[in-house]
Chain A
Protein backbone atom coordinates (compact mmCIF):
# COMPACT_ATOMS: atom_id res chain seq x y z
CA UNK A 1 0.00 0.00 0.00
CA UNK A 2 3.00 2.28 -0.59
CA UNK A 3 1.82 5.71 -1.69
CA UNK A 4 4.75 6.76 -3.90
CA UNK A 5 7.09 3.98 -4.91
CA UNK A 6 10.36 4.34 -6.76
CA UNK A 7 12.48 1.62 -8.25
CA UNK A 8 15.25 0.79 -7.98
CA UNK A 9 16.40 2.07 -4.57
CA UNK A 10 20.03 1.77 -5.58
CA UNK A 11 21.56 1.92 -9.03
CA UNK A 12 25.24 1.60 -9.82
CA UNK A 13 26.19 1.94 -13.46
CA UNK A 14 29.05 2.88 -15.72
CA UNK A 15 29.54 6.17 -17.50
CA UNK A 16 27.89 6.32 -20.86
CA UNK A 17 25.09 3.91 -20.04
CA UNK A 18 21.38 4.68 -20.36
CA UNK A 19 19.19 4.00 -17.34
CA UNK A 20 15.64 4.55 -16.15
CA UNK A 21 14.15 5.12 -12.73
CA UNK A 22 10.49 4.31 -12.28
CA UNK A 23 7.93 6.06 -10.11
CA UNK A 24 4.34 5.16 -9.38
CA UNK A 25 1.78 6.76 -7.08
CA UNK A 26 -1.53 5.28 -5.96
CA UNK A 27 -2.88 8.43 -4.32
CA UNK A 28 -4.90 9.74 -7.24
CA UNK A 29 -2.67 12.82 -7.35
CA UNK A 30 -2.66 14.93 -10.49
CA UNK A 31 0.94 16.18 -10.41
CA UNK A 32 4.19 14.23 -10.17
CA UNK A 33 7.71 15.53 -9.75
CA UNK A 34 11.34 14.52 -9.99
CA UNK A 35 13.92 16.10 -7.69
CA UNK A 36 17.68 15.71 -7.54
CA UNK A 37 19.48 15.86 -4.21
CA UNK A 38 23.15 16.59 -4.64
CA UNK A 39 26.09 15.66 -2.45
CA UNK A 40 25.47 18.70 -0.28
CA UNK A 41 21.90 17.45 0.31
CA UNK A 42 20.45 20.37 -1.62
CA UNK A 43 17.15 19.52 -3.30
CA UNK A 44 16.44 20.82 -6.77
CA UNK A 45 13.31 20.31 -8.85
CA UNK A 46 13.94 18.72 -12.22
CA UNK A 47 10.52 18.14 -13.74
CA UNK A 48 6.87 18.08 -12.92
CA UNK A 49 4.00 16.61 -14.88
CA UNK A 50 0.36 17.59 -14.55
CA UNK A 51 -2.18 15.53 -16.47
CA UNK A 52 0.55 14.25 -18.76
CA UNK A 53 1.83 17.71 -19.61
CA UNK A 54 5.22 19.01 -18.60
CA UNK A 55 4.63 22.16 -16.59
CA UNK A 56 8.05 22.81 -15.09
CA UNK A 57 11.25 21.96 -16.83
CA UNK A 58 14.27 23.27 -14.97
CA UNK A 59 17.53 23.73 -16.80
CA UNK A 60 18.55 20.12 -16.71
CA UNK A 61 20.56 18.51 -19.50
CA UNK A 62 18.44 17.06 -22.28
CA UNK A 63 20.02 13.68 -21.48
CA UNK A 64 17.30 13.57 -18.82
CA UNK A 65 13.81 12.90 -20.09
CA UNK A 66 10.66 12.31 -18.07
CA UNK A 67 8.18 9.84 -19.46
CA UNK A 68 4.62 9.63 -18.19
CA UNK A 69 2.54 6.78 -19.65
CA UNK A 70 -0.40 7.75 -17.41
CA UNK A 71 -1.31 9.97 -14.46
CA UNK A 72 0.00 7.45 -11.92
CA UNK A 73 3.48 7.06 -13.39
CA UNK A 74 6.39 9.37 -14.09
CA UNK A 75 9.59 7.63 -15.09
CA UNK A 76 12.96 9.31 -15.44
CA UNK A 77 15.17 8.21 -18.29
CA UNK A 78 18.81 9.25 -18.39
CA UNK A 79 21.00 8.87 -21.48
CA UNK A 80 24.79 8.80 -21.60
CA UNK A 81 25.26 8.89 -17.84
CA UNK A 82 28.05 11.11 -16.49
CA UNK A 83 29.89 11.05 -13.17
CA UNK A 84 28.13 14.27 -12.13
CA UNK A 85 24.76 12.56 -12.39
CA UNK A 86 25.54 10.63 -9.21
CA UNK A 87 22.97 11.79 -6.68
CA UNK A 88 19.79 10.74 -4.94
CA UNK A 89 16.71 11.21 -7.09
CA UNK A 90 13.33 11.64 -5.43
CA UNK A 91 9.94 11.26 -7.01
CA UNK A 92 6.95 13.02 -5.44
CA UNK A 93 3.31 13.66 -6.15
CA UNK A 94 0.66 16.13 -5.07
CA UNK A 95 -2.93 17.08 -5.71
CA UNK A 96 -2.58 20.64 -6.82
CA UNK A 97 -0.35 22.08 -4.13
CA UNK A 98 -1.51 19.84 -1.29
CA UNK A 99 -0.62 16.43 -0.06
CA UNK A 100 2.97 16.42 -1.20
CA UNK A 101 4.23 12.86 -0.80
CA UNK A 102 7.75 11.78 -1.56
CA UNK A 103 9.15 8.45 -2.66
CA UNK A 104 12.00 6.93 -0.69
CA UNK A 105 14.61 7.98 -3.22
CA UNK A 106 16.92 6.27 -5.70
CA UNK A 107 20.63 6.51 -5.03
CA UNK A 108 22.37 6.62 -8.41
CA UNK A 109 26.11 6.07 -8.54
CA UNK A 110 27.91 6.48 -11.83
CA UNK A 111 31.37 4.92 -11.97
Chain B
Protein backbone atom coordinates (compact mmCIF):
# COMPACT_ATOMS: atom_id res chain seq x y z
CA UNK B 1 0.00 0.00 0.00
CA UNK B 2 1.30 3.44 -0.89
CA UNK B 3 2.01 5.66 2.08
CA UNK B 4 0.35 8.60 0.34
CA UNK B 5 -2.51 8.86 -2.09
CA UNK B 6 -3.59 11.97 -3.93
CA UNK B 7 -6.87 12.50 -5.70
CA UNK B 8 -7.88 13.26 -8.29
CA UNK B 9 -4.92 12.54 -10.55
CA UNK B 10 -6.24 14.93 -13.18
CA UNK B 11 -8.77 17.71 -12.85
CA UNK B 12 -10.16 20.06 -15.48
CA UNK B 13 -12.47 22.85 -14.36
CA UNK B 14 -13.88 26.14 -15.58
CA UNK B 15 -12.50 29.44 -14.43
CA UNK B 16 -14.16 30.52 -11.20
CA UNK B 17 -14.86 27.04 -9.88
CA UNK B 18 -13.95 25.97 -6.35
CA UNK B 19 -11.22 23.34 -6.51
CA UNK B 20 -10.41 20.64 -3.95
CA UNK B 21 -7.41 18.34 -4.10
CA UNK B 22 -7.08 15.60 -1.52
CA UNK B 23 -4.13 13.87 0.08
CA UNK B 24 -4.43 10.82 2.33
CA UNK B 25 -1.55 9.18 4.12
CA UNK B 26 -1.19 6.05 6.16
CA UNK B 27 1.69 6.76 8.55
CA UNK B 28 2.45 9.16 11.38
CA UNK B 29 3.89 12.40 10.14
CA UNK B 30 5.46 15.50 11.63
CA UNK B 31 4.34 17.92 8.92
CA UNK B 32 2.74 17.93 5.51
CA UNK B 33 3.64 20.16 2.58
CA UNK B 34 1.73 21.25 -0.47
CA UNK B 35 3.87 22.04 -3.50
CA UNK B 36 2.96 23.58 -6.86
CA UNK B 37 4.83 22.73 -10.04
CA UNK B 38 4.19 25.06 -12.96
CA UNK B 39 4.10 23.88 -16.56
CA UNK B 40 7.58 25.35 -16.97
CA UNK B 41 8.82 22.94 -14.31
CA UNK B 42 9.52 25.29 -11.39
CA UNK B 43 8.42 24.07 -7.95
CA UNK B 44 7.02 26.36 -5.27
CA UNK B 45 6.25 25.43 -1.70
CA UNK B 46 2.71 26.60 -0.93
CA UNK B 47 2.08 25.45 2.64
CA UNK B 48 3.51 23.49 5.49
CA UNK B 49 0.91 22.17 7.94
CA UNK B 50 1.04 20.21 11.13
CA UNK B 51 -2.50 20.96 12.27
CA UNK B 52 -5.59 22.96 11.42
CA UNK B 53 -5.83 25.25 8.46
CA UNK B 54 -3.75 27.82 6.61
CA UNK B 55 -4.81 30.40 4.05
CA UNK B 56 -2.77 32.32 1.52
CA UNK B 57 -4.71 34.43 -0.95
CA UNK B 58 -7.14 32.14 -2.76
CA UNK B 59 -5.44 29.00 -1.48
CA UNK B 60 -6.53 27.18 1.65
CA UNK B 61 -4.92 24.06 3.10
CA UNK B 62 -6.40 21.94 5.84
CA UNK B 63 -5.17 18.89 7.68
CA UNK B 64 -6.93 16.40 9.94
CA UNK B 65 -4.26 14.51 11.85
CA UNK B 66 -6.69 11.95 13.30
CA UNK B 67 -8.10 11.09 9.87
CA UNK B 68 -4.67 11.31 8.19
CA UNK B 69 -6.03 13.55 5.49
CA UNK B 70 -5.21 16.94 4.01
CA UNK B 71 -6.98 19.03 1.41
CA UNK B 72 -5.88 21.92 -0.76
CA UNK B 73 -8.64 24.27 -1.89
CA UNK B 74 -8.53 26.97 -4.52
CA UNK B 75 -11.32 29.54 -4.52
CA UNK B 76 -12.29 31.48 -7.66
CA UNK B 77 -9.90 29.40 -9.77
CA UNK B 78 -8.06 31.04 -12.63
CA UNK B 79 -6.20 29.67 -15.66
CA UNK B 80 -2.91 30.72 -14.05
CA UNK B 81 -3.66 28.16 -11.29
CA UNK B 82 -3.10 25.42 -13.88
CA UNK B 83 -0.22 23.35 -12.52
CA UNK B 84 0.60 20.08 -10.81
CA UNK B 85 -0.08 20.11 -7.08
CA UNK B 86 1.92 17.71 -4.94
CA UNK B 87 1.55 16.79 -1.30
CA UNK B 88 4.64 15.66 0.56
CA UNK B 89 5.45 14.80 4.14
CA UNK B 90 8.22 13.64 6.37
CA UNK B 91 7.45 10.37 8.14
CA UNK B 92 8.71 9.37 11.57
CA UNK B 93 11.86 7.91 10.00
CA UNK B 94 12.72 11.35 8.59
CA UNK B 95 11.98 10.07 5.10
CA UNK B 96 10.28 12.47 2.70
CA UNK B 97 7.39 10.93 0.81
CA UNK B 98 5.79 12.61 -2.20
CA UNK B 99 2.36 12.08 -3.65
CA UNK B 100 2.15 11.49 -7.39
CA UNK B 101 0.59 14.88 -7.96
CA UNK B 102 -2.69 16.23 -9.24
CA UNK B 103 -2.62 17.85 -12.66
CA UNK B 104 -5.02 20.80 -12.60
CA UNK B 105 -6.19 22.54 -15.76
CA UNK B 106 -8.41 25.59 -15.46
CA UNK B 107 -10.22 26.57 -18.64
CA UNK B 108 -10.90 30.24 -19.36
The reply on A76 being an interface residue by CB < 8 A is no
- Per the CB 8 Å criterion, the residue count for chain B at the interface is 21
The reply on B96 being an interface residue by CB < 8 A is yes
In the complex formed, the residue of B with least CB distance to A40 is B100
The reply on B31 being an interface residue by CB < 8 A is yes
Majority secondary structure, A binding face: strand
**Chain B residues in the interface with A (C-beta under 8 A):** 30-31, 33, 35, 37, 41-45, 48, 84, 86, 88, 90, 94-96, 98, 100-101
The reply on A77 being an interface residue by CB < 8 A is no
Given A43-B86, A43-B88, A56-B95: A97 in contact with B45 (beta carbons within 8 A): no
Other than A44-B98, A45-B96, A100-B45, give 12 A-B pairs with Cβ distance below 8 A.
A33-B96, A41-B37, A41-B101, A43-B86, A43-B88, A48-B96, A97-B48, A100-B48, A102-B42, A102-B45, A104-B41, A104-B42
A interface, size bucket: 20 to 34
Within 8 Å by CB of B33, from A40, A42, A58, A100, lies A100
> Are A41 and B84 interface neighbours, CB within 8 A?
yes
The reply on A88 being an interface residue by CB < 8 A is yes
In the complex, which residues of chain A have a beta carbon less than 8 angstroms from the beta carbon of B48? 97-98, 100
> Are B101 and A90 interface neighbours, CB within 8 A?
no
Within 8 Å by CB of A56, from B42, B84, B94, lies B94
